[in-house]
Amino acid sequence: EWTPSDVKMLIQLVEQRELLWDSSKATHKDGKMREKSFRVIAEAMNRSLADCKAKWDNLRAQYRGYKLKASQNMSIKWQYFEALRFLDKVCDPHKYKVNLVSALEA
């Protein structure tokens, strides 16, 4: 189970490693480097690699869904929204066709 402080820590650790979220970085295309970065995060959090990756994928998908809602002038009250704003550098909510129901319920 992920506590809010665990989630915030994961977000901070991923934010510090641009290669995990910024596809414009040359290192982003290096799967081995991304894997190594996630391993460091997993060790720091005392969690499995798969658990950290899955949680990050879920958070990123939720953020995209909330960004799409925000672009439609809907109020956003998700506790991690502000912490994930660094993704705005690379996340265009209209570029992704996200199934909002599944992304927001996950």
Listed by start position, the domains of the chain span: 4-105
Residue ranges in the chain assigned as alpha helix (H): 4-15, 31-45, 49-71, 100-105
> Is a pLDDT exceeding 90 seen at residue 90?
no
Q: What average pLDDT does the chain have?
A: 86
Q: Which phi and psi angles does 68 have, rounded to 5°?
A: -65, -45
pTM: 0.80
Q: What is the pLDDT of residues 10-57, one digit of tens each?
A: 999 999 999 999 888 888 888 899 999 999 999 999 999 999 999 999
Local confidence band at 92 (pLDDT 50, 70, 90 cut-offs): low
